[in-house]
Structure 1
Amino acid sequence: MALTARLSFIDTTENDDPEDLFAGSLGVIFTDDVTNQHGDASTALHYTSPHLSKPLRIELSDPKAAQDRSLFSHFLWNASLMLADLIEAGTLGLKAGGDTTGAGAGTVDLGKSVPVPPLKDFDIRGRSTIEMGAGTGLPSLMAALLGAKRVLVTDYPAPVVIENLRKNVELNLKDQAGAKDVEVAVEGHGWGELGTPLAVENKGAFDRVLCADCLWMPEQHGNLQKSIAWFLSDDPGARAWVVGGYHTGRKGMRGFFDAEKLREVGLEVERLWERDCDGHDREWAWDRGAEDLDTTGRKRWLAVCVLRRIRKDAHDDKAE
């Protein structure tokens, strides 16, 4: 099942411009193309899962300021769909390749040694979570509905972005039985800004840090790494789940996974692989040559990463 199969559009205007309708249908008409950003301020989204009591309604913000628009948080990106799918499949114990799991469960074995973790590793029940650069907040909504004990949804502290996130939380979690016992909050957080009251009060407070499509700004990689390390619990089982697309190019996003840079903030990669929108898995590659120049082809793939705090190996333990 295609990653985007659960999405449907809700036109919130009376606009019947044929050009607008055509533009919204490109991913269907030209089947080799993949739509990796969804919705706009006039087109809300329904995200439908057979495991939820009703579809989630995803509203999109309408930033007017150039700086706010440059964040591109006013779209739902495929990385968020992938992370939401992984959380659902891992929490509910869905079978990989099943008819109702979407592409997030992993549907195709390419016959290679791909370091994909067991789906159960994405079980969110009883976890405290914080999402970085949440945009529309879909992974956080899934976490809240599927049994997380605490969900903090954050994005850059632009009022229009934070207001829309709070709207999505209100629309989808109010009076929902699955979310009634979950502590949910929406707050602004600028990556790397660790002296704010929010950061000071929540240092090391989260079992899971969620990041979906936050890697396209290479100049912000260091700040994002600092925030992940800051909020991640010291518990050995704590993990950060990072999913990023290649729509701006592999070269611009791959530096986030640089082992030395991660080590500087006390993090390391536990798992890193690639999955496409149809559920094919393959090994991570630093460079894929001509494929990276193909804007249509590279939109199909996402990098999926599990980060943890650096562990001392047996050699280090003996040395002590």
Structure 2
Amino acid sequence: MSAAEQTTHAPTTQSTEDEDDEDLFDTNLFEEPEGFRPSTPPPTYETYTRNPSNVKQNTPHTLDIQKMGARDSLWAHRVWNGSLVLAEHLDCDKTKTQGKRVLELGCAAAIPSMLSAINGAECVVATDYPNPVLMKTIARNLETNCPEQWKNGTLKLVPHQWGHEVQEVLAALPDTTRKFDVIYLADLIFNHTEHRALLTTCKAALEPGPQSAMYVYFSSHVVKWAHKDLAFFEIAKEEEFGFCVEQFDKVKATAMFPDDVGDLEVRETVHCYRMWLPLK
């Protein structure tokens, strides 16, 4: 066979080998079979019923709450006791929010945010971790239960990761004359590694002065770590943050995890704190 003939026939031989390889190789090898990954669980629903004595004319008696359908690292699939007790306090004493600029961190079900909007806050900014499914769930709750406030911009939703810059959060305010008058932290401080990040956001967002307030409501769900929960307030008083701290109430509720170990009374107690930044 001549060199020319070898050149002519070589591509044909290679093509045949490639075709054989393709026949042997399953091109669908890396396709996931149907049902390989479990589907996202559907959302669940819960009705929050207000105390009738707190309901003013032309305001809703109940809130329709959609929750994420599965437990996740954000713990946003539950309505927490701290949030429920805070909501009751705010609904009972509307002066805490009327005409105020309100920020809720880690809002999840966002019940305190919605009640603040319903009860006449100047503006309410609900925030939580920028997870798309979580953001969609919260937005649904805000729009469903507070359609007027959602439409006119009195009630807004802003994604925010604690400790990051707060420009987007502050940009949701109606103007720059002052920052937030009130900040809510409901059952957040069990995230012990995030205490400084939480306080960084709070210090950057709260208007200084005794007229402003951070309301921190929580239970020690894990009794052996109760001291770690309380460390939040010691860190808050450090020079880096400079918060004033006072505990003003304790409320007994049903334990979130009744079968867990540890003193039941500790796990049933919701602690209520107020914090503020002194004027320089």
Q: TM-score, normalised by structure 2?
A: 0.72
Whichever of the two has the greater Rg, that structure is 2
Q: 1:262 to 1:62 in 2, by over 3 A?
A: farther
| Among candidates 60, 66, 74, match of residue 59 of structure 1 | 66
What is the match of residue 180 of structure 2? 206
User: Which residue pairs with 1:130 in the alignment?
Assistant: 103
Question: 1:97-120 CA distances to partner (integer Å, 9 max, x unpaired)?
Answer: xxxxxxxxxxxxxxxxxxxxxxxx
Q: Summarize deviations over 1:31-63 as a string: whole Å, max 9, x none.
A: xxxxxxxxx955311111221433100110236
Which amino acid is the alignment partner of residue 154 of structure 2? E
Specify which of 52, 74, 93 is matched with residue 90 of structure 1: 93
Q: Match for 1:224 among 191, 198, 219?
A: 198
Question: 1:184, CA displacement in angstroms?
Answer: 1.1
CA shift for structure 1 position 259: 5.6
**Range that drifts further, 230-239 or 158-167:** 230-239
SS at match of 1:140: helix
Partners of 1:144 and 1:182 within 8 A in 2: no
Given residue 296 of structure 1, which amino acid in structure 2 is its aligned partner? L
Residue in structure 2 matched with residue 26 of structure 1 by the alignment: none
2-structure distance, mates of 1:152, 1:187? 7
Deviation >3 Å, runs of 4+: 40-43, 179-182, 199-204, 259-263, 270-273
Residue matched to 1:32:
none
> Aligned letter for 1:61?
M
In structure 2, what is the Cα distance between the partners aligned to 1:259 and 1:130? Answer: 21
Q: 1:235 to 1:182 in 2, by over 3 A?
A: farther
Distance 1:190 1:248 in 2: 24
- Aligned partners of 2:201 and 2:66: how far apart in 1? 26
Give 1:81-230 correspondences, 5 Å limit.
Answer: 81-91=84-94, 123-175=96-148, 183-194=154-165, 197-199=167-169, 201=171, 205-230=179-204
Q: Matched residue pairs, number?
A: 223
Change in CA separation of 1:62 and 1:237 when aligned onto 2, cut-off 3 Å: same
**Cα 1:181/1:173, change in 2 over 3 Å:** same
What value does the CA root-mean-square deviation take over the aligned residues? 2.7
- Aligned counterpart for 1:265 among listed residues 220, 238, 241: 241
List gaps (5 residues or longer) in structure 1: 1-39, 92-121, 279-292, 313-320
Percent pairwise identity: 25
Q: AA paired with 1:47? A: Y
Counterpart secondary structure, 2:67 = coil
Residues 11-30 of structure 1 aligned to structure 2 (within 5 Å)? none
Q: Specify the code of the residue in structure 2 equivalent to 1:161.
A: L
CA contact (8 A) 1:245 1:299 kept: yes
Mapped partners of 1:130, 1:190: distance in 2: 14
Question: What are structure 2's unaligned runs of at least 5 residues?
Answer: 1-40, 255-260
Does the 8 A contact of 1:262 with 1:268 survive in 2? no
Q: Which amino acid aligns with 2:155?
A: V
Q: From the superposition, tell whether residues 58 and 223 of structure 1 become closer, same or farther in structure 2 (CA, over 3 Å).
A: same
Going from structure 1 to structure 2, the CA distance change for 1:183 and 1:200 (only over 3 Å counts) comes to closer
Q: Is the 8 A contact 1:41 1:61 kept in 2?
A: yes
Tell me if 1:80 matches 2:83.
yes
Q: In the alignment, what sits opposite 1:45? A: 46
Q: CA contact under 8 A between 1:244 and 1:304: conserved in structure 2?
A: yes
Contact 2:236 2:243 in 1 (8 A): no
